[in-house]
Amino acid sequence: MQVDPGNMKLTYTDSVFHLLKPALLVLSLFLFAISALAQEESEIEIYFAETKVGESFNFNERTIHFKEVLVDSRCPGDVTCVRAGEAKILVEIFKGEKSLGKEIITLGANVNSFKTSLAKFFEEELDIEFLSLSPYPKTSRKIKTSDYQLKLKVTERLEN
């Protein structure tokens, strides 16, 4: 506020904006500091695995056991299909020595980046991504159970 000595009226000029600029600067710095603290509170740990049927993937007292391929109806790579097909696999989840349960995972023909949530079996926040099931079918060969290999990635958020 400023007083105009000529007619003694109170007039607002840029004084409101002069007060808001420092307040906005302080607010911005405060939000930036909170954001930085939030990022420091959690770390991400990533595990990659390649496991065959009958084998297990162990990570931080947890285990995903690749029990079997239930169905593999994916369209062979050397054929043009109307429907892409899918593969269904059975995994069993353990924490320590205790079985937490079994889960059937359905993988489409384009298995890349297929994400599933098996986090219900664990206390922590986990993202489990099935990267591939190989070998991919071809008409010229029959896949033996022992040839199947599952590639997966587990991302775990840890608190500091």
- For residue 104, give the amino acid letter: I
**Sign for the pseudo-dihedral over CA of 25, 26, 27, 31:** positive
Q: Does residue 52 contact residue 67 with C-beta atoms inside 8 Å?
A: no
Q: Does residue 78 contact residue 140 with C-beta atoms inside 8 Å?
A: yes
Residue 118, φ and ψ in degrees, nearest 5: -100, 15
Encode pLDDT of 91-134 as tens digits.
999 988 899 899 888 887 554 445 565 767 766 667 788 888 99
Q: Domain 43-159 is of which CATH architecture? A: Sandwich (2.60)
* Residue ranges of the chain assigned to CATH 2.60.98: 43-159
Residue 106's nearest CA partner among 129, 92, 89, 131 is 89
Of these ranges, 24-38, 86-100, 126-140, the one predicted with the greatest mean pLDDT is 86-100
